[in-house]
């Protein structure tokens, strides 16, 4: 057993215990919490010795814990999360929901705002508190909290928790980034995407947890709009979500998963969305099906708000159907991540979103005005890449950038293949600016892969200007072995592809090299699974072109 296994077991145990403890437990009165009388009830997550139920000693702290404000059951059912770290701060997230699947979307709470205490400590026992305060979980935003915990040290791990009345949240572990100019020996992170709840268990997350990554990057399809499923994988909606209440129920069903909660509690996440956070293959204001157009603005507004409410974003809440999700994350002098939004500003998919499209019969493909990112984001990215002084420039985004064209068949016009002019502009700007060490991280396709991106069109010929790593899905259905048999990897310029398995990508990034391990789990049909490394790929700093190891 590796040390990671211990951490993993420990975190899962805490999440599980935390829930069990509050089932039917008559909690101590609110006033006694500050005196430490509730250490066997609400404080389980703080100590490592609570499996026996023996009381732990609560350290003296200066935190003033608000009373229960009428909350009659554990409100921390959705766990905790952190995200968007900076050298001196990190966003701490939770959402109060004593009844998370409440069909009205209020999580079992009323219309009143709720005051919550938060604590950040340098140790797991919360003996060395470094920051604390209270914040208001507004009813308007589903009683979610996005606390900006400031005044922290760079490149440092912390523990955090929330408290209200007799209730204490599970403990989360998070970290700050290195100082902007710091030399960094190594960044270890995982990236993942596409977790269709109803299709299987999220067995990958046990392995992400065991890796003890510095960071988790999620590239979209965090939820899917589909109801269905059975047993623990059931999503309690009768039809696709239409309003804010429906989307909140969806997130609550997804975020109830103990493995997902454990990984959120283990490291900061940096997230972006793709289509299914709203609905399949939407493009800005255009829904998947034309007949849904009249209701789509309201639906998108609800979906955007629910997304903001449930993820640890360093952003103000959306205004209507606008949420500026694209942003950067800097990891010292080692890496700058450009986190993209390929959904909110794109032009509609060409040629009726037909799949496959025969390129020669779809003149729209040549339309220079079509855009994946919108002009503002595109300029932001181009300028950012040109100015970036970190060794690695990482483009964390949604859909496949490599050209996947079989003869004259454009396999998927929802990908960058449907936006060839936009892709050409981006690749040209990288080449013209002499931007080296560009790595594109991709989700969406439910398949793993690795490829060099070449000018002018990400095809098989031309100068290598960037490198693309595609992660397969956590649980969404893959394309299957049939397609794998139809594709000649080398003819398409792919260094690696896996169309069958589920998993994630584990990256080790140093000033000299980037190594990616494509992790595949054996199954998603059971709650746990073995995992193995299906392929390893390396990019050396200063040398264009990735290499299979
Ligand atoms: Fe997906
Ligand atoms: Ca997608």
pLDDT at 193 over 80: yes
User: Mean pLDDT across the stretch 435-461?
Assistant: 97
Contact between 461 and 469 (Cβ < 8 Å) = no
The pair of structure tokens assigned to 219 is 């590239």
User: Which ligand minimizes its atom distance to the CA of 475?
Assistant: 1
- What is the reported pLDDT for 166? 97
442 CA distance to ligand 2 centroid (A)? Answer: 10
Mean pLDDT, rounded, of the chain: 89
What is the average pLDDT across 345-353?
93
* Domains of the chain with CATH codes: 3-176+223-272+286-320 (2.60.40.380), 329-548 (3.60.21.70)
Q: How far is the CA of 434 from the centre of ligand 2 (A)?
A: 31
In angstroms, the CA 63 to CA 477 distance is 46
Q: How confident is the model at residue 1 (pLDDT cuts 50, 70, 90)?
A: very low
Ligand 2 center to 332 CA (angstroms): 31
Q: Which residues pair with 409 in a beta bridge?
A: 358, 406
Spacing, Cα 545 to ligand 2 middle (Å): 27
What's the pLDDT tens digit per position in 376-406?
A: 999 999 999 999 999 999 999 999 999 998 8
Bridge-based pairing of strands 438-442 and 494-498 is: unpaired
Residue 193 CA to ligand 1 center (angstroms) comes to 7
Q: Which ligand is nearest to the CA of 415?
A: 2
Burial 390-401 (b: 16+ CB within 10 A, else e): bbbbbbbbbbbb
**What distance, in Å, lies between the first and last C-alpha atoms of the chain?**
26
Q: How far is the CA of 286 from the centre of ligand 2 (A)?
A: 15
Q: Which ligand is nearest to the CA of 476?
A: 1
pLDDT > 50? residue 22: no
What per-residue string of b and e applies to 50-65 under the rule 16 or more CB within 10 Å gives b? beeeebbebeebebeb
Q: Is the dihedral of CA 306, 307, 313, 319 positive or negative?
A: negative
Distance between Cα 221 and ligand 1 center (Å): 5
Q: pLDDT (tens digit, 9 = 90+) per residue, 67-98?
A: 999 999 999 999 999 999 999 999 999 999 99
Q: What is the DSSP letter of 228?
A: B
Tell me which ligand sits closest to the C-alpha of residue 283: 2
What 3-state DSSP class applies to 259? helix
Cα 474 to averaged position of ligand 1 atoms, centre (Å): 9
Centre of ligand 2 to C-alpha 274, Å, is: 5
pLDDT of residue 144 exceeding 90, the answer is yes
Taking only the tens place, the pLDDT of each residue in 294-323 is 999 999 999 999 999 999 999 999 999 999
Tell me the pLDDT tens digit for each residue of 242-278: 999 999 999 999 999 999 999 999 999 999 999 999 9
Q: 413 CA to middle of ligand 2, Å?
A: 12
Asked whether 240 and 226 are in contact (CB, 8 A), the reply is: yes
Mean pLDDT confidence for 220-226: 98
pTM score, whole prediction: 0.90
Question: What is the structure's pLDDT at 354?
Answer: 79
Beta strand residue intervals within 143-267, DSSP E: 144-149, 157-164, 167-168, 172-175, 187-192, 215-218
Distance 222 CA to ligand 2 centre (A): 10
Distance 444 CA to ligand 1 centre (A): 4
């Amino acid at each position: 057993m590796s040390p990671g296994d211990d951490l993993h077991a420990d975190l899962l145990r805490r999440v599980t215990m935390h829930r069990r403890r509050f089932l039917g437990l008559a909690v101590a009165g609110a006033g006694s919490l500050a005196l430490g009388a509730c250490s066997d009830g609400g404080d389980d997550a703080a100590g490592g010795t609570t499996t026996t139920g023996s009381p732990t000693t609560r350290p003296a702290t200066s935190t003033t814990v608000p009373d229960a404000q009428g909350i009659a059951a554990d409100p921390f059912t959705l766990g905790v999360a952190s995200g968007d770290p900076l050298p001196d701060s990190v966003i701490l997230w939770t959402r109060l929901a004593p009844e998370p699947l409440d069909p009205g979307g209020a999580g079992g709470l009323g219309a009143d705002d709720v005051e919550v205490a938060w604590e950040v400590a340098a140790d797991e026992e919360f003996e060395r508190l470094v920051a604390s305060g209270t914040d208001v979980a507004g009813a308007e935003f589903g009683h979610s909290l996005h606390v900006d915990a400031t005044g922290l040290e760079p490149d440092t791990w912390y523990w955090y928790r929330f408290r209200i009345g007799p209730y204490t949240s599970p403990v989360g572990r998070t970290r700050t980034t290195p100082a902007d100019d710091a030399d960094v020996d190594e960044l270890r992170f995982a990236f993942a995407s596409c977790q269709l709840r109803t299709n299987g268990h999220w067995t990958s997350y046990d392995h992400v947890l065991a890796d003890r990554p510095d960071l988790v990057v999620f590239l979209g399809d965090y939820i899917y709009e589909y109801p269905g499923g059975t047993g623990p994988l059931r999503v309690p909606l009768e039809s696709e979500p239409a309003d804010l209440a429906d989307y909140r129920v969806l997130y609550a069903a997804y975020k109830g998963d103990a493995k997902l909660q454990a990984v959120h509690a283990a490291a900061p996440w940096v997230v972006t969305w793709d289509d299914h956070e709203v609905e399949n293959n939407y493009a800005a204001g255009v829904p998947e099906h034309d007949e849904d157009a009249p209701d789509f603005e309201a639906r998108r507004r609800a979906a955007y708000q629910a997304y903001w409410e449930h993820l640890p974003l360093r952003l103000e809440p959306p205004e209507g159907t606008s949420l500026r999700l694209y942003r950067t994350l800097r990891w010292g002098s080692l890496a700058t991540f450009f986190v993209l939004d390929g959904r909110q500003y794109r032009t509609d998919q060409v040629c009726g979103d037909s799949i496959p499209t025969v390129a020669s019969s779809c003149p729209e493909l040549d339309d220079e005005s079509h855009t994946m990112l919108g002009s503002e984001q595109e300029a932001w990215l181009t300028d950012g890449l040109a100015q970036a002084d970190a060794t690695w420039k990482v483009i964390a985004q949604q859909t496949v950038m490599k050209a996947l064209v079989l003869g004259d068949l454009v396999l998927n016009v929802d990908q960058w293949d449907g936006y060839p002019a936009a892709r050409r502009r981006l690749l040209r700007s990288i080449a013209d600016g002499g931007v080296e060490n560009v790595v594109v991280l991709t989700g969406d396709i439910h398949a793993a892969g690795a490829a060099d991106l070449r000018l002018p069109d990400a095809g098989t010929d031309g100068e290598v200007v960037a490198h693309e790593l595609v992660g397969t899905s956590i649980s969404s259905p893959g394309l299957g072995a049939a397609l794998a048999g139809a594709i000649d990897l080398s003819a398409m310029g792919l260094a690696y592809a896996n169309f069958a398995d589920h998993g994630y990508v584990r990256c080790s990034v140093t000033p000299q090299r980037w190594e990616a391990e494509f992790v595949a789990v054996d199954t998603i049909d059971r709650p746990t699974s073995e995992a193995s490394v299906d392929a390893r790929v390396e990019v050396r700093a200063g040398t264009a072109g990735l290499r299979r190891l």
